[in-house]
Amino acid sequence: MKITYLGHAAFAVAFNGKNLILDPFISPNELAQHIDVTALAADYILVSHGHSDHVADVETIAINTGASVISNYEIVSWFAEKGISGHPLNLGGTCKFEFGSLKYVNAVHSSVLPDGTYGGNPGGFVVWDAQQAFYFAGDTALHTDMQLIPLTCPKLDVAILPIGDNFTMGYADALLASDFIGCNKIIGCHYDTFGYIEIDHAAAKKAFAEKGKELILLDIGASIEL
């Protein structure tokens, strides 16, 4: 799999020959102005919850590419009214897609869509095939349900966790989360975009390194191949 950071909590993941876009908030992000939203390839857009800093570019990408939205029922229904196709899930549900299996897992956060429509329960995604697996936590606090992931999903190769604190867990809690999910390779997200979530990169990486773990902080536009 190839994971490209698009800023904030947005990623492009090439998985099994399909292009997944996660939580696209790119055009409003001052730090991501060098990313051209209209040039992104997408087969599916995974949306963890309804907040505008996760859905801002869903419509543009879906219209440009014909990609389907994968999210909870409420969010998929909201986009369906705009003519965008999608696949609804709810917490605990797994479904097989062209790219592999996807499970919608618990997140402890809130979820409302930009126009005030109820956005269902927030979630995260575990995606896997026979060879590899990743977890995208979405916006979440540290919570013990993360301990269910190693019991119910294949071994994770990498996990994308929020580390910016204030609106989500910070990196110290993300370090505990990495224990809960049994994964020592973590890609950080949801940091630095706004004043409330600016972090000390060196301190965050050091905290992980001291526990024999790796915290990867990708430049916006940079990729990692696994």
Q: What is the binding site for Mn ion (CB under 5 A)?
A: 51, 53, 139
Q: Report, in Å, the least distance between residue 138 CB and Ni ion.
A: 8
Helices (H), 119-225: 149-152, 171-181, 201-209
Note whether 123 and 145 are within 8 A (CB). Answer: no
- Binding interface with Ni ion (CB under 5 A): 51, 139
Tokens matching residue 84: 């965008």
CB of 139 or CB of 192, closer to Ni ion: 139
Q: Report, in Å, the least distance between residue 65 CB and Mn ion.
A: 23
Q: Report, in Å, the least distance between residue 130 CB and Ni ion.
A: 32
CB of 141 or CB of 216, closer to Ni ion: 141
CB of 26 or CB of 207, closer to Ni ion: 26
Note whether 176 and 142 are within 8 A (CB). Answer: yes
Q: Report, in Å, the least distance between residue 113 CB and Ni ion.
A: 11
Tell me the C-alpha distance between 73 and 70, whole Å. 9
Which is it for the CA torsion 221, 10, 30, 166, positive or negative? negative
Tokens matching residue 42: 């997408």
Q: Report, in Å, the least distance between residue 150 CB and Ni ion.
A: 25
CB of 76 or CB of 197, closer to Ni ion: 197
CB of 19 or CB of 29, closer to Mn ion: 29
Note whether 26 and 56 are within 8 A (CB). Answer: yes
Phi, psi of 192 (to 5 degrees): 70, -15
Task: Please name the residues in contact with 92: beta carbons below 8 A apart, sequence gap of 6 or more.
Answer: 103, 104, 105, 106
